[in-house]
């Protein structure tokens, strides 16, 4: 007798599925461009643990429904006081996604902004459409980039590029992201599903032991290099930014500009 695979939790803002060696994780609030509320972050963390309960799983595709991968942190979160535990939820979520045993492939279209970019950076491989757009606007919101985003960006694109993109908040293109090493592939808009499917098929065809051991080994090496598990004052910096008078002023101006 074999154990039945565990049923997925009852999620409200994401959707998950597993079919043998492959799985999918979708941010599922397309009408809002898939914002990352505290509830969504908790669901993503729970989903990562759920995927780890499937012993045959090799590859999980991570995407966003509709027109965007993710517009980033839910801006409504910046209007309340919140608690310290909420400030650390993004860090825990990114960590859980990164520590999944299965290989994760980020499928990126439309906007990939701020916290959404951190979620993508926590994935192992990334494919984006040519029309996708990236930005890290946290400083314009009066807060430092948190959720372990800085060490992950340093790992993927280096310290100088990380400083530039986070400090300026400027938009950058998939072509630039590919040249930096953040993306593995850029494809025409109509080819995203086929490109992701081809990569997943190729990975699934590999022996599971070697595939997952390579992920674990690479992550262990980069962890010793950049210390994603020791993000500098991550929650403290976020909380300080939310309380800082200058930060509150620029954050309100940012929200006013966007209605």
Tens-digit pLDDT profile for the chain (259 aa)? 346 778 888 999 999 999 999 999 999 999 999 999 999 999 999 999 999 999 999 999 999 999 999 999 887 665 544 444 567 899 999 999 999 999 999 999 999 999 999 999 999 999 999 999 999 999 998 889 999 999 999 999 999 999 999 999 999 999 999 999 999 999 999 999 999 999 999 999 999 999 999 999 999 999 888 776 655 557 666 677 677 787 677 767 776 776 6
Instruction: In whole angstroms, give the CA distance from residue 156 to residue 244.
Output: 30
In SS3 terms, 73-106 reads as: ECHHHHHCCCCHHHHHHHHHHHHHHHHCCCEEEE
Structure tokens belonging to residue 169: 């908040």
- 7/4 Cα distance (integer angstroms): 9
The predicted pLDDT at position 79 comes to 54
Tell me what percent of the chain is helix, strand and coil, each rounded to the nearest 5. Answer: 55, 15, 30
Q: Which residues pair with 108 in a beta bridge?
A: 128
φ and ψ of 168, to 5 deg: -85, -30
pLDDT on residue 81 = 46
The residues spanned by each domain of the chain are 14-191+208-257
Q: Give the CATH H-level superfamily of domain 14-191+208-257.
A: 2-enoyl-CoA Hydratase; Chain A, domain 1 (3.90.226.10)
HSE on the CB side for 187, CA within 13 Å?
Answer: 19
C-alpha to C-alpha distance for 73 and 37, rounded to whole angstroms: 6
pLDDT at 1: 39
CA-based nearest residue to 112, from 173, 194, 154, 161: 173
Using an 8 Å Cβ cutoff, are 62 and 106 in contact? Answer: yes
Pairwise CA distance, residues 197 & 203, whole Å: 10
Q: How far apart are CA 184 and CA 178, in angstroms?
A: 6
Q: Which pLDDT score, from 0 to 100, does residue 258 have?
A: 67
Identify the pLDDT of residue 259: 62
Nearest to 157 by CA among 194, 183, 124: 183
């Amino acid at each position: 007798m074999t154990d039945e695979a565990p049923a997925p939790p009852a999620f409200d803002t994401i959707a998950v599925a597993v079919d043998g060696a492959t799985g999918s994780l979708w941010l599922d609030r397309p009408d809002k461009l898939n914002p990352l509320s505290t509830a969504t972050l908790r669901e993503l963390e729970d989903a990562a643990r759920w995927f780890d309960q499937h012993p045959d799983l090799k590859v999980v595709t991570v995407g966003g429904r509709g027109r965007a991968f993710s517009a980033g942190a839910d801006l409504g979160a910046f209007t309340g006081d919140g608690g310290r535990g909420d400030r650390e939820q993004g860090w825990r979520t990114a960590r859980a996604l990164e520590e999944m045993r299965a290989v994760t492939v980020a499928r990126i279209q439309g906007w990939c902004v701020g916290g959404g970019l951190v979620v993508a950076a926590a994935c192992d491989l990334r494919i984006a459409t040519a029309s996708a757009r990236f930005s890290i606007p946290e400083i314009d919101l009066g807060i430092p980039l948190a959720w372990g985003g800085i060490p992950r960006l340093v790992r993927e694109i280096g310290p100088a590029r990380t400083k530039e993109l986070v400090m300026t908040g400027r938009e950058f293109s998939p072509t630039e992201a590919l040249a930096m090493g953040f993306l593995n592939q850029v494809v025409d808009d109509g080819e995203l599903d086929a490109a992701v499917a081809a990569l997943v098929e190729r990975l699934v065809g590999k022996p599971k032991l070697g595939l997952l051991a390579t992920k674990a080994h690479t992550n262990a090496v980069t962890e010793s290099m950049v210390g994603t598990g020791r993000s500098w004052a991550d929650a403290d910096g976020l909380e300080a930014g939310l309380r800082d008078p200058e930060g509150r002023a620029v954050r309100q101006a940012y929200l006013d500009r966007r209605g």
